[in-house]
Amino acid sequence: MSGTSFTRMSLMKFVGLNSRRAFHSTSKRLNDFETVHIQNTNRYKQLLMEKGKFEESQANAIVNLMSDALRGGISHVSQDLAKRERLTQLTYQQRVDFAKLRDQLLTADRSEFHNLQNDYERVRKDLDKLKNKVKEEITKANASFKLDLSLEKGRIREESSHHDMQIKEIDTRIDKEITNMRMQIDSVKTQVMQWLIGVCTGTFALVLAYVRLLS
């Protein structure tokens, strides 16, 4: 019974001591993942044989079993710690990448906004220039149209005045022609009357002469 108790105490002491050593070794070698070696196994085997009254084969089996168990546990803990450290590194790297991406996006947004603002100002200036140019063209067109309209009105007035003068001249000519025709008609009437009077006078003289001859 005392041998069994001593064996359990020795095993617990062995496990605790080697666990602390293995964990300390793992924490030191966490980055390179080297294989953990348990030191002084012969000493623990000797203690089991001397104080635990174990045979050499039993002591070897116990030491090998505990060594394998410790190696497995330490390897698992090392892998877990390595995964956690790797996860921490990945998280930190993702945060750094996210911060860089955010800065790049903010810079791109600022640059894009600045470019859009410059484009807007350029378009606004171009529109103002185009509006002023259109106003100038409209003003020139209105002035030219007014000038052409004024010239056309003057030309129409001149043509109308010229036509009025021509109409007056034609009226004057017509009046003159009518007056001349009336004078000619009156002259012809006078000549006809004179001719009729002469004819009548000659006829009357002939009749008188004929009457005298008959009487």
Residues 132-148 have pLDDT tens digits of 999 999 998 888 888 88
Is residue 121 in some structural domain?
A: no
The mean pLDDT of the chain is 75
Query: What secondary structure does DSSP assign to 43-68, as a single string?
Result: HHHHHHHHTS---HHHHHHHHHHHHH
Residues 93-114 have pLDDT tens digits of 888 888 888 888 888 778 888 8
Residues 35-50 have pLDDT tens digits of 444 556 677 667 777 7
If one counts the domains in the chain, the total is: 1
Give residue 30's domain range: 2-109
Is residue 94 in some structural domain?
A: yes
**What is the distance between the alpha carbons of residues 21 and 43, in angstroms, rounded to a whole number?**
15
Is residue 80 in some structural domain?
A: yes
pTM: 0.32
